[in-house]
Amino acid sequence: MSQFGDAIDFVFHAREARSGGTEVGGSQLLPLLGKHLELTAASVGIAAAIAIPLALWLGHIGKGQFLATSVSNVGRAVPSLALIAFFVAYLGVGFANVTLALVLLAIPPILTNTYVGVRQVDRELVDAARGMGLSGTQVVRRVELPLALPLIFGGLRTSVVNVIATATIAPLAGVVTLGDPIIAGGVYGEDGRLGAALVVAALAVAAELLFAVLQRAVTPRGIRVTRSAPPRWRRPALAPIRQEPS
Partner 1 sequence: MTAVASVLVLAQFTERNRTGHSCVEDNGFCPGWIADHWNRYTTPLLQHVELTVIALVAGFAIALGLALVAHRRRWLVGPIVAVTGILYTLPSIAVFFILQPVTGRGRTTALIALTAYTLLILFRNIIAGFDNVPEEAKDAGRGLGLTDRQLLWRVELRLALPEIIAGLRIAATTTVGLATLAFFAGAGGLGGEIFADITFKSNVVVAGGLCVALAIALDVALLGAQRLLVPWQRAVAR
Question: Which residues bind to partner 1, rule: CB under 8 A?
Answer: 1, 3-4, 69, 73-74, 76-83, 85-86, 88-90, 104, 161, 164-165, 168-169, 172, 179, 182, 193-194, 197-198, 200-201, 204-205, 208, 231-233, 235-242, 244-246
Task: Name which of 66 and 222 has its Cβ closer to partner 1.
Answer: 66
Minimal distance, residue 201 CB to partner 1, in Å: 4
Q: Answer yes or no: are the C-beta atoms of 185 and 124 closer than 8 Å.
A: no
E strands present in 106-175:
none
Task: Name which of 22 and 65 has its Cβ closer to partner 1.
Answer: 65
**Pairwise CA distance, residues 183 & 186, whole Å:** 9
Task: Name which of 30 and 90 has its Cβ closer to partner 1.
Answer: 90
Minimal distance, residue 222 CB to partner 1, in Å: 24
Residues 6+ apart with CB under 8 A from 161: 204, 207, 208, 211, 245, 246
Minimal distance, residue 129 CB to partner 1, in Å: 30
Minimal distance, residue 146 CB to partner 1, in Å: 26
Q: Answer yes or no: are the C-beta atoms of 118 and 148 closer than 8 Å.
A: yes
Full 3-state SS string of 104-121: HHHHHHHHHHHHHHHHCC
| Encoded amino acid at 77, one letter | A
Exposed/middle/buried for residue 188 (C-beta within 10 Å: 0-12, 13-18, 19+): buried
Task: Name which of 80 and 215 has its Cβ closer to partner 1.
Answer: 80
Task: Name which of 1 and 30 has its Cβ closer to partner 1.
Answer: 1
Q: Which helix (H) or strand (E) holds 225?
A: none
Task: Name which of 125 and 206 has its Cβ closer to partner 1.
Answer: 206
- Pick from 64, 37, 240, 59: nearest CA to 149: 59
Minimal distance, residue 161 CB to partner 1, in Å: 6
Minimal distance, residue 105 CB to partner 1, in Å: 11
Question: Strand 15-16 and strand 23-24: pairing?
Answer: antiparallel
Task: Name which of 60 and 193 has its Cβ closer to partner 1.
Answer: 193
Phi and psi at 179, nearest 5°, equal: -75, -15
Minimal distance, residue 137 CB to partner 1, in Å: 32
Phi and psi at 206, nearest 5°, equal: -60, -45
